[in-house]
Structure 1
Amino acid sequence: MTTNLEDLTNQLLEAAQKAGADAADAMALKGTSVSIDVRQGKLEHAERSEAVDIGLRVLVGQRQANVSASDTKPETIRVMAERAIAMAKEAPEDPYIGLASSDQIATAWDLDALELCDPTAEPDPSDLQSDAAEAEAAALAIEGISQVQSASAGYGQTEVQLAASNGFSGHYARSDRGTSCVAIAGTGAAMERDYDGDGRIFQADLRSPEDIGQSAAHRALARLNAKQPPTGAFPVLFDERISSSLIGHLLGASNGAAIARGSSWLLNALGEDVLPKGISLIEDPHRPRVSGSRPFDAEGLATKKRAIVDNGTLSGWTLDLANARKLGLESTANAARGVGGPPSPSTWNVALTQGEKSRDDLIREMGTGLLVTSLIGSTINPNTGDYSRGAAGLWIENGEITHAVNECTIAGNLRDMLKSIVPANDARTYLSRIVPSLLVEGMTLAGQ
């Protein structure tokens, strides 16, 4: 089987041209993944996969179609191109589709500076099993932990090759290594569970399995003897490990595809304040050793740092080429795609301005309210921003944690919530989304 990804994309483009495409782009992915699960100190499940996937997008006039396959034989590539052309001829016309012009495409980048792939050799499965077993043992060693639901470790590496008939051709590889643990505290109907985990590009950066197991255990123990909170309006502090979901809603609402459809609660909000003054949301796709970094987007445009929110003010949409054309704007080089579909806008690494106070400081200052550590379900109106989610966490009384809380709902409106956030200073700066714990005043809690 041919595994040279550049050769594969060139073959795909040549086949598309022969089949009658006016323009085309091709993607080839080569991936390896290994995962190990341990239970009660013994290997429970081991899985390894290796695959090469290819995708082709053809344009015939202002019509397009996508096809993909995991078979890379020349005959398969020829048939893919022919089917794609036949599909494109039946597709509706779209005046906004099209490849980047030659002066838009990236021509140079520094992969070494991004450090997307660990040069260290693939870990032996026994090393992964040892990591998972250590995490499990560390959790079980904490008094009050009755069992570990799962302890896992994994490794993956993916090569990406993108080429287009406009002359663009680019390649990069990325790796990942992770460990996770889910611990259960208590027994019978009183059992509670929680988790911890870590995933990094470089194996040397990974937290220790012992630390992960102990953290999962302590989080599970903190959830024991949970009660429903009172119903009313209270301050809500979103813990750092789930606070990025709030910023995720802002990113979704400022996505160019949602704006072009007219289905966003941030429609017509460009230039308006959406966060408090002094707080910015910065996208930087060039941070080294971070999973969201990349040298170019899925349309071959050079990625770049930009402000999504600048000093509280919404300063731009997240755009690929097609949605930029719909809105009469320029692409922000945020096109993402897989082998099976066309590009669409997506954000890379983002960082929210951190505050000066710690999470503990905010807890002391919030008086009585809820520290949310997990969220379930979701009822969010994409047009109005009305927000309602099931929540669990810890109750705060007179600035101190008193007991665990579950079976409650928190509600508000995202425009109001985000404009009143108070950030802590506890964000993990190695994540793709750097978002600290966020305090939101006056949310509605539905409990007892």
Structure 2
Amino acid sequence: MALSDPLSLEPLDAPLSALIDHARAAGADAADALGLYGRSASITVRGGELEDIDNSEGFDIGLRVMVGQRQACVSSSDLSSGAIQRLAERAVAMAKLAPEDPYCGLAPDARLSLRRDADGLDLFDPTEMQPAELKARALDVEAAALAVPGVRQAEGASASMSWSAVRLRTSAGFDGGYAASRHGLSVSAVAERDGAMERDYDFDGTRWFSDLRSAEDIGRHAGERAVGRLGATSMGSGAFPVIFDRRVSASLVGALTGAISGNAVARGVSFLKDDLGKSLFSKDIQIVEDPLRRRGLSSRPFDGEGVETTLFNIIENGQLNSWLLNTSAARQLGLETNAHGARGLSSPPGISTSNVALLAGQNSPEALIALAGNGLLVREMFGPSLNPTTGDYSVGVSGFAIENGVLTHPVSEVTIAGNLRDVFASLIPGSDLRYDNDTNAPSVLVEGLTIAGR
């Protein structure tokens, strides 16, 4: 293990400046340029032997130009001066032929972030893992999974690390960037009994190596979950309470953020398009977004358009406070952007969130199971289906039956269905919230979903 100097943003400076300058010279009225540097390494083992190694490093640049109310986006990994000039000229030529978009344009100057770096957010860990160290950790997590009685084999045991740097520059004068890191460890375990096999997994991903869960913990947990699924059967159909384990419950929060995306609302394709300011959850439910969370997996000092980020209450006391808006969606809806722009290399800004969390409640997972009485604990989901205009929702699941307030036998080949309005209205959060993904939630209890089993 070595400690290296933090990534420098300086190599991105000249290419982005040149992109903007050449675009203006070619006739662009406005432009923004994005530069990315990425370096990553991952190693996968199987049966104690190296199975795969992936090591990559490179620079990418993207340019968006606007000519009047027309825009175009281009990208390249060629940072030579001639290629940059040709890229800018091609972008302007494309923009002149593009259809008019009355909502395109740079973010308003008044909304731009004064913070141009990620100082204080602790997003970059200079710990560099060498290939031999990554392989050793992958072997450790595999061995821990195989040590669980009943586990036949481990698959996809892998360890990874990545460094990245991002820099955004606009023709209006915004210039900001920051570096980030990520460490990961994962394994899938296969358990067998009487010829029947079940699979499960565990993983962890953190900004800093020191925050990563141990290989022993991850491997053991994956193995125990796989063994626990042996002997799974279906269950009877009907309307029952359903608990979503904390590993899958965040998908419900993700369905909410998708439905309140300004783009979906502006197009009229969201089942929540008329619910701004209304109560969707019980009054004790809070869903917050914290882009400035220290070591957060999606923390950022400014959004993809350079707009200042801040703590954002999406659901406050059960009530929907705001749409998620970038500059374009805000203009369509006659509102102001609230820093949810996501800039891609070769496309106009989309909409994204940063460190969203359904805040924890008072009930432990065991207390939620007792409250459910008779129902289902969902541990894994397969192929969720959501009608975005109605909120109708269905998904195949596996997990455990709940009888008289306790877990009984493992369950598979079951489908649950309902409407997300009803899901949100009855949702009770557990106390086991962890911030280990971009979107986070504790275990949640939902009343009255329809279970289709045997």
**Alignment RMSD (CA, Å):** 1.3
Aligned equivalents of 1:345, 1:434: Cα separation in 2: 18
Structure 1 runs (4+) greater than 4 angstroms displaced = none
After superposition, where does 1:327-338 map in structure 2 within 5 Å? Answer: 327-338=333-344
Displacement of 1:111: 2.1
Displacement of 1:274: 1.0
After superposition, where does 1:253-402 map in structure 2 within 5 Å? Answer: 253-402=259-408
Aligned equivalents of 1:9, 1:56: Cα separation in 2: 8
Q: Which amino acid aligns with 1:403?
A: H
Q: Which amino acid aligns with 2:65?
A: V
Aligned equivalents of 1:211, 1:64: Cα separation in 2: 50
* Structure-2 residue corresponding to 1:7: 14
* Structure-2 residue corresponding to 1:98: 105
* Structure-1 residue corresponding to 2:3: none
CA contact (8 A) 1:388 1:409 kept: yes
| 3-state SS of 2:20 partner | helix
Displacement of 1:74: 1.1
After superposition, where does 1:23-102 map in structure 2 within 5 Å? Answer: 23-102=30-109
Aligned equivalents of 1:101, 1:386: Cα separation in 2: 37
CA contact (8 A) 1:100 1:166 kept: no
Q: Which amino acid aligns with 2:369?
A: I
CA contact (8 A) 1:421 1:441 kept: yes
Q: Which amino acid aligns with 1:429?
A: Y
* Structure-2 residue corresponding to 1:432: 438
CA contact (8 A) 1:102 1:167 kept: no
Aligned equivalents of 2:195, 2:383: Cα separation in 1: 22
| 3-state SS of 1:240 partner | coil
CA displacement, residues 147-188 of structure 1 (integer Å, 9 cap, x when unaligned): 002200000010001000010000101100000010000068
Structure 1: where are the runs of 5+ without partners? none
Aligned equivalents of 1:182, 1:169: Cα separation in 2: 43
Displacement of 1:263: 0.3
CA displacement, residues 200-239 of structure 1 (integer Å, 9 cap, x when unaligned): 0000110000110000000101111110110111110000
| 3-state SS of 2:308 partner | coil
Aligned equivalents of 1:286, 1:188: Cα separation in 2: 51
* Structure-2 residue corresponding to 1:417: 423
Displacement of 1:108: 2.5
Pair 1:199 & 2:199 matched: no
Aligned equivalents of 1:327, 1:336: Cα separation in 2: 18
Aligned equivalents of 2:47, 2:194: Cα separation in 1: 19
Displacement of 1:3: 7.2
CA contact (8 A) 1:37 1:44 kept: yes
| 3-state SS of 2:305 partner | coil
Displacement of 1:430: 4.7
CA displacement, residues 108-149 of structure 1 (integer Å, 9 cap, x when unaligned): 3562211111122x1111111111100000111111000002
Pair 1:407 & 2:421 matched: no
Aligned equivalents of 1:432, 1:181: Cα separation in 2: 20
Aligned equivalents of 2:10, 2:157: Cα separation in 1: 33
* Structure-2 residue corresponding to 1:114: 121
Name the stretch that deviates more: 60-69 or 433-442: 433-442
Aligned equivalents of 2:435, 2:340: Cα separation in 1: 22
CA contact (8 A) 1:36 1:47 kept: yes
| 3-state SS of 2:61 partner | strand
CA contact (8 A) 1:279 1:353 kept: yes
CA contact (8 A) 2:116 2:175 kept: no
Aligned equivalents of 1:188, 1:327: Cα separation in 2: 60
| 3-state SS of 2:230 partner | coil
Displacement of 1:432: 3.3
Aligned equivalents of 1:417, 1:99: Cα separation in 2: 38
Aligned equivalents of 2:306, 2:194: Cα separation in 1: 55
CA displacement, residues 398-419 of structure 1 (integer Å, 9 cap, x when unaligned): 1111111011100000011111
Q: Which amino acid aligns with 1:291?
A: L
CA contact (8 A) 2:204 2:436 kept: no
* Structure-1 residue corresponding to 2:5: none
* Structure-2 residue corresponding to 1:185: 191
Displacement of 1:24: 0.3
| 3-state SS of 2:213 partner | coil
Q: Which amino acid aligns with 2:143?
A: A
Aligned equivalents of 2:35, 2:117: Cα separation in 1: 21
| 3-state SS of 2:293 partner | coil
Aligned equivalents of 2:229, 2:172: Cα separation in 1: 56
| 3-state SS of 2:248 partner | helix
Aligned equivalents of 2:120, 2:383: Cα separation in 1: 39
Aligned equivalents of 1:3, 1:37: Cα separation in 2: 33
Change (3 A) 1:365 1:426: same
CA contact (8 A) 1:146 1:187 kept: no
Aligned equivalents of 1:188, 1:37: Cα separation in 2: 29
Displacement of 1:79: 1.2
| 3-state SS of 1:111 partner | coil
Displacement of 1:420: 0.5
CA contact (8 A) 1:3 1:52 kept: no
Displacement of 1:350: 1.2
Aligned equivalents of 1:155, 1:181: Cα separation in 2: 15
Displacement of 1:262: 0.4
Structure-2-length-normalised TM-score: 0.96
Aligned equivalents of 1:364, 1:20: Cα separation in 2: 67
Structure 2: where are the runs of 5+ without partners? 1-8
CA contact (8 A) 2:191 2:197 kept: yes
